[in-house]
Amino acid sequence: MAAAPLRVLACGDVEGRLEALFGRVRAVQSKSGRFDMLLCVGSFFGSTSATEWTEYRTGAKKAPIPTFVLGANDPETMSYFPDISGCELAENITYLGRRGLYSGTSGLQIAYLSGIESQDEPAPAYSFSAKDVAELKTSLLSTPNFKGVDILLTSPWPRDVGTFANNAGEIDTKKCGSKLVSDLAASLKPRYHFAALEKAYYERLPYRNHTVLQETPQHVSRFIALADVGNTSKKKEEPACQYFFDLNKHQGKKRPSDGKEGGNSQPKQAKKPPQPTGPCWFCLASPEVEKHLVVSIGTHCYLALAKGGLLPDHVLILPIGHYQSVVDLSSEVVEEVTKYKSALKEFFRSKGKRYVLFERNYRSQHLQLQVIPVPLDHCTSEDIKESFIAQAQDQQIDLLEIPEHSDITQLAPPGTPYFYVELDTGEKLFHRIRGRFPLHFGREVLASAALLALPQRADWRRCAAERPQEAAQARAFRRDFQPFDFALRA
């Protein structure tokens, strides 16, 4: 029996504002359900901690979830840590220690390094030295088949973390942070690295832990710097923006709000789709539609095999009326798109496959949801996500996972160009297109050696088949899909 996904919150500098922190946690849990733990990076205590802290230390108040904190970053707050090797500070509040690896019963591996960088040996109790980092690396890298930790917690940012990446705003990443933390992150290969101290939010473009085409592909790392809790400058902070880590690798899966995947709490009002300004190859009533490729017709949507498909069962979900993108759809069309997704998931799973869906709302006039199956035993959902992210990074495309409780309609107003990926687990990736975009990007990723290994089929124009062959493939798909086709039972 699979373990339940682990739900983790992380936060930046608390600086003694315990009521603000735990008030936020309670609000998040009342809205989103219970979390398993809270990880605090940066300075947990501050100059104003004494009064609030006494209530928690004496048991008059209790943290709402297990809370794990890093050590002091200055001599003034050292008194709050009675044992620098790690200890329970109050009920539900644990100091992890100066450095080490925390691994709970779930198997989640959290590496941690407390304090700020020091050049002294031995380092003061509120800092770490090169020797501390070397010993932590040695203890972890000596583990057989070490492939990286799940989470790395440090207070300082890694020095130069913004190199070859998206802008960090007002923070100069060449001057802030620690070179030793950079070295540690490069060695430990964390899936997530949380840090603070700069009082600014920054989510770096995910980076690879291998050399492309020279080393075996590995997972990517996501560095996330967190603003201080209760900041008055309205900077994005944690847990307000809620970062989750899912041990079963389903982070990003949207919690349905109305019983329908992708549903909104306030669905769009029914509306007629706009009419195309010229010939459209995908409006079902149009004479341009190649109807021999159609395999299922619902009330608002239909399925058709892709012309020049990447695989024989590469299929498209298309609205019958003329809509340009997912964000333009009316609620009843969204509902039927969701039904087709569910049917295709069940259909492909019955054949030992998972599907990858993507949409390119760029230089296109009619919505096409491309659905391509990938064998379950060939790669995991994490492999697929990381292939998309790594190849996007190669082309300087900022492709990011959509956080839980976010939806594409919140990210892209109608008329916004974007590229969007969705797995049948519900995990989603999104890129807002602001300039040029490679038209075959989605197919190129799936056709790459890391996934389907069909590079010669990356361009659909090179995969054209004769009409009789296309018709035969459509008949075969229609026959196999029939037991899963809700449109036939309407």
User: In angstroms, how far is the first alpha carbon of the chain from the final one?
Assistant: 36
**How many C-beta atoms surround the C-beta of residue 266 within 10 A?**
9
pLDDT band of residue 238 (cuts 50, 70, 90) is: very low
pLDDT > 70: percent of the chain:
85
Least confident of 159-168, 221-230, 359-368: 159-168
Which of 345, 365, 364, 346 lies closest to 356, judged by CA? 345
Least confident of 61-70, 75-84, 127-136, 282-291: 282-291
* Superfamily of structural domain 8-225: Metallo-dependent phosphatases (3.60.21.10)
Q: Give domain limits for the chain.
A: 8-225, 291-489
Mean pLDDT computed over 97-113: 89
In terms of DSSP bridges, do strands 294-297 and 67-69 run parallel, antiparallel, or are they unpaired? unpaired
Least confident of 15-24, 440-449, 458-467: 458-467
Q: Give dist(CA 478, CA 19) in Å, integer.
A: 59
List beta partners, residue 38: 9, 67
pLDDT of residue 256: 31
What's the predicted TM-score (pTM) here?
0.56
DSSP-assigned letter for residue 98: S
Count of H-run helices and E-run strands, the chain: 9, 22
Answer yes or no: CATH 3.30.43.10 is held by domain 291-489: no
> pLDDT tens for residues 154-192?
999 999 888 776 777 778 888 899 999 999 999 999 989
> pLDDT tens for residues 29-61?
888 788 899 999 999 998 767 788 999 999 999
Strand arrangement, sheet containing 353-361: 294-297, 301-305, 315-319, 369-375, 353-361, 418-423, 428-432, 400-401
Mean pLDDT computed over 423-429: 89
In terms of DSSP bridges, do strands 294-297 and 207-208 run parallel, antiparallel, or are they unpaired? unpaired
Strands (E), 248-390: 294-297, 301-305, 315-319, 353-361, 369-375
More confident residue, 108 or 215: 108
3-state secondary structure of 266: coil
Q: According to DSSP H, which parts of 58-178 are helical?
A: 130-141
pLDDT band of residue 413 (cuts 50, 70, 90) is: confident
